[in-house]
Amino acid sequence: MAMMAMMARALCGVAAVLLACSAREQGRSVVARGEYLSKLMGCPACHSSDPARPYAGGLEAREPNSVWRAPNITPHTGTGIGAWTDAQIIAAVRDGVRPDGRALHPIMPYRYYRRLTDGEAQALVAFLRSLAPIDHAVAPAPPPADLPIAAAVAPPSPSPGGELARRGEHLVALMHCASCHATPGADGQPDPARPFAGGKRMRPFGAGLASVGSGALIAPNITPDRETGIGAWTAGDLARSLRGLVRPDGTPIRGPMELYAAGWSVVTDCDLAAIAAYLQELPPVHHRVPAADFTPRGAAP
């Protein structure tokens, strides 16, 4: 009986969270919903090289075999996407294809953005069209030769936990967490069988993608393995790690997540609860990632 009472209380708690989330979602305007999605998805992190010109593009980074440059996605008709149709904007976001048929550079996580529902995609378009048009020409960066369009990412199945975890799975996909936290396969690409077990080496950078040190950081295992992952973290620990970029022991989280800090600081309590529910229900993967060899600039050797 005691166990049944505990389960009933837990179910009531989940139901209350879902009702609160639903009410909050319904209370947003379409444009506000699109703005929230853009921050959750990290759009301003890459498409804003100057705080005075948000979403006007210009951020650039050189990869070993290519260069990527974030375009202007304000509704300026000459240098932005003001002349694009709604369908063309959605195709770029979800399919990685420009109006002229060229593929976007795969740094754009469209293979995760394919999870956007039609309503979410339309809200995102409404928000982008609401932005002030900024005249900022960004030279297009050609993608690597013979770049194929990446396949969509199949949704990992959460353990039978219900609607809250399913909501969390959807949010984690839009936040493209697996783009960094997946274990690299033999070809160096993310292993779809281990999307959250960590191990990817990442070069740390700061504003404008400027180098902030030497060496590399290693994406951690964020499955609920208690020894090598985050199985000992509470839902509150997970919320603080996303909103405040701090681990339970107080150490700061560095690397690409720093670019998302401003956007993720507005993630609602409802969505943080859903994200935590999903991550805590993932199958634990015992995978101890190597220690990072990153040294911040100016630190003693």
**Does 290 lie in the same domain as 174?**
yes
**Does 261 lie in the same domain as 178?**
yes
**Does 172 lie in the same domain as 115?**
no
The first and second tokens of residue 95, run together, are: 């399919």
Q: What is the pLDDT of residue 274?
A: 97
Query: Residue 124 belongs to what domain range?
Result: 29-130
**Does 191 lie in the same domain as 122?**
no
- Which residue among 130, 153, 171 closes a domain? 130
The first and second tokens of residue 24, run together, are: 């909050």
**Does 169 lie in the same domain as 50?**
no
CATH number of the domain that 34 lies in? 1.10.760
Q: What is the pLDDT of residue 217?
A: 86
Between the CA of residue 117 and those of 92, 195, 227, what are the distances in Å?
15, 22, 36
**Does 203 lie in the same domain as 279?**
yes
Q: What is the pLDDT of residue 8?
A: 46
Between the CA of residue 36 and those of 123, 133, 196, 207, what are the distances in Å?
10, 19, 24, 22
Give the single-character DSSP code of 190: B
Q: What is the pLDDT of residue 229?
A: 98
**Does 126 lie in the same domain as 60?**
yes
Using left for φ > 0, alpha for ψ between -120 and 50, and beta otherwise, residue 177 falls in alpha
Q: What is the pLDDT of residue 6?
A: 46
Domain contains 12: no
**For every one of its 301 residues, what pLDDT tens digit does the chain have, with 9 covering 90 and above?**
554 444 445 555 556 666 666 656 666 899 999 999 999 999 998 999 888 999 999 988 776 666 788 999 999 999 999 999 999 999 999 999 999 998 888 889 999 999 999 999 999 999 999 999 999 999 887 666 655 666 667 776 655 568 999 999 999 999 999 999 999 988 878 888 899 999 998 876 655 565 656 778 899 999 999 999 999 999 999 999 999 999 999 998 888 888 899 999 999 999 999 999 999 999 999 999 998 887 766 554 4
Place of tokens 């009531």: 12
**Does 288 lie in the same domain as 169?**
yes
Number of domains in the chain: 2
Q: What is the pLDDT of residue 267?
A: 96
Place of tokens 């009986």: 1
Is the CB of residue 273 less than 8 Å from the CB of residue 17?
Answer: yes
Is the CB of residue 59 less than 8 Å from the CB of residue 206?
Answer: no
**Does 196 lie in the same domain as 239?**
yes
What CA–CA distance (Å, rounded) separates 137 from 128? 17
Domain contains 93: yes
Task: Compute φ and ψ for 139, nearest 5 degrees.
Answer: -60, 130
Domain contains 261: yes
What CA–CA distance (Å, rounded) separates 166 from 182? 19
Q: What is the pLDDT of residue 188?
A: 79
- Which residue among 130, 150, 176 closes a domain? 130
**Does 55 lie in the same domain as 99?**
yes
The first and second tokens of residue 162, run together, are: 């219900």
**Does 170 lie in the same domain as 88?**
no
Q: What is the pLDDT of residue 28?
A: 81
Domain contains 204: yes
Place of tokens 């709604």: 86
Three-state DSSP state, 187: coil
Domain contains 242: yes
Domain contains 258: yes
User: How many residues are recorded in the chain?
Assistant: 301
Is the CB of residue 253 less than 8 Å from the CB of residue 246?
Answer: yes
Task: Compute φ and ψ for 129, nearest 5 degrees.
Answer: -70, -20
Give the single-character DSSP code of 217: E
Give the single-character DSSP code of 218: E
Domain contains 201: yes
Domain contains 20: no
Question: CB under 8 Å to 123, separation ≥6 — which residues?
Answer: 30, 31, 33, 34, 37
- Which residue among 71, 106, 130 closes a domain? 130
**Does 170 lie in the same domain as 277?**
yes
Three-state DSSP state, 235: helix
Kindly write down the DSSP assignment for every residue of 167-186, as one continuous string: HHHHHHHHTTTHHHHSPB-T
**Burial state string for 46-70 with b = 16 or more CB within 10 A and e = fewer than 16:** bbbbeeebbbbbbbebeeeebebbb
